[in-house]
Structure formats: structure tokens, C-alpha cells
Structure 1
């Protein structure tokens, strides 16, 4: 499949490592990001949003697994879109996935900086964010086995820490705190609450964003047809339980409005129970970093494989598809995505608009990419069922066509509401896509050569 005679990717990932990647990619969403949804929807309104998004992700993952096991390719959604709808379909899916995975890490790195600032008040979060990039880009370059083993370890620690958080704050939990002003600041539901419920969609998606990144490690799995379904289904169940527990316990410990619009809601929630000097709080800050690191590190793995696959297929410059001769990792792709992420960290004037913080807008940008990719992926599933009925499908989407149809319809609803509530971010997303499409049109000869080399 490579367009060069250089080394390829190693097939060495186990089922447990793939589960670790599935959960690790997402688990930072349990630590921060979701609480921005409380600002407009309230706790109860956001529960409605989160429930709808959880249903969308559950049906999506069961459907997406069919594509991943049928076409175990490092490009993931890009390859599904290309196979179903040709080069343009591949471009749309590849661009959307790239935006999702390249813009998620800067948001997470800023949260890492915020967590460290709790422990070291004089530390600039942006400086810490850049340091995180340098460390974890290096780790990703050193080899997929090292990266995946590290990912599994930090994911297990992060899960343990979320359980510790729930256990420590449980004695101070009060349902009265959670429901107070729970409908967009009001104590009862009204038609006005609907606006907040829809506006909160990007932050509910953040609970589960990037779980589909396992598809980009499929080419490096020992037995993708067996292990990927287990990793995906086990991952979504794990995340559903953790997301529900964290959100409810955090909202019930005091005044939940103080946790909205901040990057470190869990330490602040715990502080309300145990105080600033408690060892529990310090443990949460330090161990809580593992959750952020797990996602940060895992998404770097994801974006690098997406860049690598797009380059290999002729959609991006050839240099980005190089594989390190010793470590067998796409090292140039790792570095390229990191450069974009670091620039985003310092792009306050470009990305801080529309009344939202830099982090909130970066999260929203990443979610735009995810939703467009989900739409193309589900459309690809329907198209491939018709155009390639004999394609080997080790895992078939259950309750077809209901599950993929619901996931597709829900994603379309999410995209429409996000455009309505975030027009400036939507314009930026479309603008970057148009620029990329111009490059796509100018490089058709290289794609033709890449296709011939891969045949």
C-alpha cells in the first residue's frame, strides 16, 4: 500500500492496547470541556444534550465498526469516503478527520497547562502546553508499541482517578445542588431552555470525541477483524459510565455555575469538598493529568496516521508520508500536526471570538470536523452496502439500517445547530476546507500516481 520503497507500519497492537487507545483518546473529555455546556444549558438541560449525544455515539460506533473491520486502513474515515464516493469523498472525510484530530490536542494541552497551574500558580499554561507537545511528539515517534503501552498505562490510571474523584466528593453530593437552576439557569423547563440544550451540543460531543480514532490504528493491529469490535464496544461502555458519573457528582457538590467556563472543573469541585490543602486535591491534580495526557498522546497518534495516510494516497505532500527507518512511525506527520497545534495555542486573536474562550472555540472547531466525518462515514456505510455487497464484513452493524440511519440523522442535526450557534467557527472550518480543496484540485496527477503505485 505504500507509495515508496521505505519501511511500513508495524502490525503489533493487541486487543487490550486497542481498548486503551479507544478509551484513552476520549478520556480527557471526562476531565474538562463538557462543563462549558453547563454555561448555556444548565445541568439538567445538559443532561438532555448528553443523553442524545450518547445515543448518537452508541449507534455510530456499532455502525462504524463495520467499516473499520471491513477496511482496516490507517486512513480510517478518509479511506471509507474515498472507496464509497471517490477522490472528492475521500478529501471531505480526510479534511474533516484532520481538523478533528489536529485541533483537539491544543485544547487538551491548554487544559494540561491549567491543571499544572493549580499546583504551580506561576506557571504559564501556554508554556506548559508547548512542553507537553514536545514530550509526547517525541514519545509517539519512538514506536507504536511504546506509544500504545504507555497509552494503556495512563488510561488505566486516569480511570482509577475518576473513580477516586467520585468517591471523595460523594459525601458532599446533593441532588438539590445539581438541579438548582438546572434548566439554563431556571428551576423549571421552558421553551427558552431549548436554545441552551442545542447550543451545548459541541461540549456533549467532547465527552466522546475521537473514539473513532482506533480506526487509524487498525493497520497496526495484530488481528483487526476480531480485536477492533471488542475495543470499540468495550470503550463506548466504559466512557458512558464514566461520563455520567463524573458529570452528576461534579454538579452536585456545590454551586455548579462556578465550574462552567473553566478548564479544570474536577479539581475545583473537589476543592469545595476537601479544601485547598487536602492531599486528595493534590492527588487529583497530579493523577488527573494522566487523563489529559492519555487523550493528548492518543490523538497525536491518530492525527499522525491520518496525515500519513493522506500523504500516501497523494492528498498531502509526499514528505508527510515518510516512515522513520528505525522506529517505523510517521515521524514527519507527528511533527507537522504538532506545529499546527502549537500555532493554534497562540492564535488568540484568530480563534477567540464569538464570546467564547480560546479553548471553547478550539473544541468547537474540532467537533465540526468530527461531525462532518461522522456524516460522510455513515453515508459511506450505506453506499458500500449497495456498491460492494460482497465486501468481507467480519462485523456487521446491528439493526441495520436503523442504527446507522439514526447516527446519520443525529449528526446532521448536530451540524445544523452548531452552524447556527457558531457561525464564525463554521466559516473558519469551511474556509480552511476551500483552501485545502484548491490544493486537492491542483495535485490530481500525484493522486493518480499514488493509486497506480498502491494497486
Structure 2
């Protein structure tokens, strides 16, 4: 059998195009907005495993991994500005099979992250309206923000920037309001996996907490999927990535320390709304500050939810355009020039996940924790493939235009790669059932990949991969 080509015949032209409308500030808003919900919830589950002090060590390690990864990943994003992001880089480096693995992993990350965030939105609204079922509110969030993404990327990006700025402001307000009750002793008591002193068991908790430290930064790489819609991706994307990761590291440290020092942190370690509950320690349940935090806190959740819908839709669009998914998913709305079918398809999966307690709530973890872990599995596999792609392309395509080059090469990408492999091995050990489900998803997708070679052969060529 003739080997499958990693690129299509030049004679075919790409017929599904996205509008180039995004500037540097909008890309920064997407970078931070994609992630900022991770400052509001999810990370506190790591306290249940590692304690506050143990989780600090885990979070520092993960922050170092993300910082080196983003500096390295930016080289790929600016060299190959493509809506498929990691899928495009891996396909360029390793051919169709590499493209499949990276694309499938990214799809799992970006399709499973939104339902976790939507459930947190439901939890926040439930605080204000106890009669409102969180899952119904989560579904309502999907319907609203899928519609907003369909209307147009310019409107969606402007909205993303506004809610991201409001979310950052709200986190600063939270830190200011709880600061009068700041007690370092609150943060350190039982800080080593429920004990006051470090022991060998602390290592167990720190490794188990890795998925929740990753949640602090998960999905920042989604800016890559907006690269085709950037006005000047070779300049604006590096600025957005670097300033974005620095913004998020500072906010993550501040939120975690101020929340843990506000009172009994153990009461915050297994819930979806740790910040409002932390504020209750200081201002009480009926304070206007607390209710303001709940409402403003929605901005952070909405920013990430809205941004990741943009991310998953571009990934589905790019995979469909290249023949890795059914071609009809690559259709662009004739008026709004957005991948409306891809937006709706990801939403159907997310809403199904929200209502799938019996299928997803297993292994002794909550529904949200398992969805978060599934999303993180996809992210880590994609990080590994992306760093391998960087090394491969440096060797096989030395003359490729690289507007931004990874600093301290090969040390930065090597650290990111090794750290990601450690994370993956640890996550498989501590989340074996979720790992099995993730592997089944990849296996089923690979069967589809093998059965649809003719579909990829018939797909239009992608000019961005022919350069």
C-alpha cells in the first residue's frame, strides 16, 4: 500500500477560511481568559491530596513546566500559524499518525474542559439561587456562549477581553477583602498531606495532586488555535503567550495563598466554589462582599468557558478540514465566517458529559474531578507530542522560518518534555480508571483514522502546511 502523505496535492486549494481580525490585546485576553477559571476552582482539590504546603511544591513544578513549555510552544505557533495548533505541528513533524495523536489529545482536552467549567458556573449560580439546579444552569451556559461564538470571532474576542479584565480585577478584590484575616498559620496547619510535618507520604500526595496544579494553567496553548484569525501572528502571539503565562503565575500564587490563609483550608479542598467559601471566613455568609464575589467570580468562569469553546471549535474545524473528522464539520457560517457546526458538535458532547454522572463519576472522585482529570490527560499527551515535534522540526526543517525561537534551546523544551512525561506517568498511576477511558477514546479514534484514509486524500490542501 502506498504510504499516506502528510500533505495534500498542491493543486487542491483550501476552501474553508477564517477571518483575520484579532490583535495582540485580544490574543492576550484569549490566553489569560482561557485559563483564568483555573484560579477560581479545581485547584483546591489538590489540597485534599497534598495539603497546602505539598501543593505549593507541586504547583511550582507545574508552573516551571508551563513556563518552559509556552516559551518553546510559541516557536511552533509562530512558525505554523494554523487553526489546528498542535495537530498541525505534529502532522508536519511526524505525518498523519502524529497529527491524529496530537489532534485527538487536544480535542479531549478542549472538549472536556468546558463541562467542568460549566458545572462550576452552575455551582456559583446555585449559591445565589438555591432553587436553581447547577446542571441546568451549566447547560444554559453552553447554549448562550455557543451562540455568542457563532455570531463572530471579533465580537467573541472583544467579549473575552472584557470579561478577562473583570475576572482579574475580581481576583485582586478577593485578595484584598480576605487580607485582614490572613494568618500564615492557617495555611501551614496540616500542610503536608494533612500532617504538620513532612514525611515520605507527602510525596504521594504531591504527585496525586498534579492534575489539579495543571488546572491552574490548562488550555493557555489554545491561543494557537486562533492563529489563523490573528492579524499579525508572528508578532502578536509571542507577546500574548509570554505576558499571559506571567499574569497567570502571579494570580495563581496570590489566590492560593490568600485563600488558604483565610481560615480552615480543609473546608475548601473538595468544593467547586472555594473563593466565596474562603471569603465567608472573613466577611460572613450574608455580606455584600461575598455576594459581589459570587457575581464577579462568574466573569472568570465565563472567560475560560467562552474561550475554550472558541478553542475546541477551531480544533474540530481544522481536523475536519484535513479529513480527520467528517468534512461537514469544517463548514464555515456563510454570514459570520465562524465554524458553527464545530461549535455545536463540541457543545453536544459537553452537555452529555454534564448529565453523565453514572458514567463519569467513578474511582472515588467527583464528577468535576474526573472531567478535569480527563481534560488534563489530553493536555499532557499533547504537550509531549508538541515538544517532540519541536525537536523533530529543528532537525528535519532547519530552514523553516521561525519568527520566534525557543530560548535556551534545547534546555527549555527538554525540561517541559521531561516534566510532562513525569506528569503523565504519575497521572496514570493515581487515576488508572480515567487513564483507561482516555486510552479507549484514543483507540476508537484511531480505528476511525485508519478507516478514513480516502477522506483525508480528498481533503483540500492546507496552504499553511505547504510553505
User: So what's the TM-score if we normalise by structure 1?
Assistant: 0.99
Candidates 157, 166, 169, aligned match of 1:157: 166
Corresponding residue SS for 2:448:
helix
The separation in 1 between residues aligned to 2:70 and 2:159, in whole angstroms, is 24
Q: Which residue of 1 aligns with 2:345?
A: 336
CA RMSD of aligned residues (A): 1.2
8 A contact 1:18–1:228 mirrored in 2: yes
Q: Which residue of 2 aligns with 1:369?
A: 378
Q: Which residue of 1 aligns with 2:303?
A: 294
The separation in 2 between residues aligned to 1:175 and 1:34, in whole angstroms, is 19
8 A contact 2:122–2:135 mirrored in 1: yes
Candidates 74, 98, 121, aligned match of 1:112: 121
What runs of 5+ residues in structure 1 fail to find an aligned partner? Answer: none
Candidates 416, 422, 428, aligned match of 1:407: 416
How do residues 301-380 of structure 1 correspond to structure 2 at under 5 angstroms? Answer: 301-380=310-389
8 A contact 2:322–2:461 mirrored in 1: no
| Deviation digits for residues 376-417 of structure 1 (CA, Å, limit 9, x no counterpart) | 000000000000000000000000000000000000000000
**Are residue 385 (structure 1) and residue 391 (structure 2) matched?**
no
Q: CA deviation at 1:449?
A: 1.9
Q: CA deviation at 1:210?
A: 0.2
4+ runs of 1 displaced by more than 2 Å? Answer: 1-7, 451-455
**Are residue 91 (structure 1) and residue 111 (structure 2) matched?**
no
The separation in 1 between residues aligned to 2:269 and 2:462, in whole angstroms, is 52
What runs of 5+ residues in structure 2 fail to find an aligned partner? Answer: 1-7
The separation in 1 between residues aligned to 2:453 and 2:92, in whole angstroms, is 16
The separation in 2 between residues aligned to 1:410 and 1:451, in whole angstroms, is 37
Q: Which residue of 2 aligns with 1:244?
A: 253
How do residues 423-434 of structure 1 correspond to structure 2 at under 5 angstroms? Answer: 423-434=432-443
Q: Which residue of 2 aligns with 1:182?
A: 191
The separation in 2 between residues aligned to 1:109 and 1:24, in whole angstroms, is 15
8 A contact 1:229–1:395 mirrored in 2: yes
Change (3 A) 1:451 1:395: same
**Are residue 202 (structure 1) and residue 211 (structure 2) matched?**
yes
The separation in 2 between residues aligned to 1:330 and 1:453, in whole angstroms, is 16
Corresponding residue SS for 1:450:
coil
8 A contact 1:7–1:324 mirrored in 2: no
The separation in 2 between residues aligned to 1:53 and 1:60, in whole angstroms, is 10
**Are residue 65 (structure 1) and residue 74 (structure 2) matched?**
yes
Q: CA deviation at 1:7?
A: 5.3
| Deviation digits for residues 136-158 of structure 1 (CA, Å, limit 9, x no counterpart) | 00000000000000000000000
| Deviation digits for residues 98-130 of structure 1 (CA, Å, limit 9, x no counterpart) | 000000000000000000011011110000000
**Between 359-368 and 438-447, the greater mean CA deviation after superposition:** 438-447
**Are residue 75 (structure 1) and residue 84 (structure 2) matched?**
yes
Corresponding residue SS for 2:458:
helix
Number of residue pairs aligned between Structure 1 and Structure 2: 455
The separation in 1 between residues aligned to 2:287 and 2:263, in whole angstroms, is 17
The separation in 1 between residues aligned to 2:290 and 2:87, in whole angstroms, is 42
Q: CA deviation at 1:8?
A: 1.9
